[in-house]
């Protein structure tokens, strides 16, 4: 689709106004407002407002990821954090999700995970049991008692005699 120069300048002007009001205003929000792609709007900004510099997408270090999640948990705006690192908001949320899952693998109680990451228990439960991660691959990492073989199927609770007796359907069922 071809856009007029007037439309492009209007979109760029709107973005610059929003950027002046709120540092780190996401380009994606402006693109949605004007129903254009983020890449198109970025090109227009580079053409009509060359003084605006976009951060190059570099891969944040593990420490920067941890710091970003800490900032998110402490209440800093996700768009501000993402802008500062030159990544998307989705990246920040995925890092928080990864931290929560890693904490679960380390054996930290679900309620503590939720408190530390500001993730509702229902959300954590769905990530663990809902297929967003391969829980069956985590069996080697879940804390277990020495008498419990690691080959125990995940859908067989440790105290069940047969797989038919019960299956893991919630986070509480998975905690060994």
Q: What is the pLDDT of residues 4-43, one digit of tens each?
A: 999 999 999 999 998 888 877 888 888 899 999 888 898 8
Q: pTM value? A: 0.47
Taking the C-alpha atoms of residue 143 and residue 35, their distance in angstroms, rounded to an integer, is 49
The answer to whether 96 touches 113, Cβ cutoff 8 Å, is: no
| Domain range list for the chain | 5-48, 62-135
Nearest to 28, CA basis, from 51, 4, 5, 54: 54
Q: What is the pLDDT of residues 119-155, one digit of tens each?
A: 998 888 888 776 544 443 444 444 444 444 444 444 4
pLDDT for 74 beyond 90: yes
Q: Closest Cα partner for 173 from 152, 151, 156?
A: 156
Both structure tokens of 145 = 């008692």
């Amino acid at each position: 689709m071809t856009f007029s120069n007037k439309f492009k300048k209007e979109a760029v002007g709107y973005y610059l106004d929003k950027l002046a009001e709120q540092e780190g205003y996401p380009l994606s929000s402006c693109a949605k407002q004007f129903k254009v792609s983020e890449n198109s709007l970025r090109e227009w900004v580079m053409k009509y407002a060359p003084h605006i510099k976009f951060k190059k997408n570099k891969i944040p270090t593990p420490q920067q990821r941890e710091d970003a999640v800490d900032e998110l948990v402490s209440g800093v705006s996700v768009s501000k954090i993402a802008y500062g690192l030159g990544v998307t908001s989705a990246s920040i949320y995925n890092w928080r999700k990864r931290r929560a899952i890693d904490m679960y693998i380390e054996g930290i109680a679900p309620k503590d995970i939720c408190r530390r990451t500001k993730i509702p228990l229902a959300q954590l439960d769905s990530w663990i049991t809902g297929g967003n991660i391969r829980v069956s691959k985590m069996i080697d990492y879940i804390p277990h008692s020495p008498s419990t073989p690691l080959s125990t199927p995940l859908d067989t609770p440790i105290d069940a005699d047969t797989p038919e007796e019960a299956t893991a359907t919630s986070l509480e069922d998975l905690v060994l």
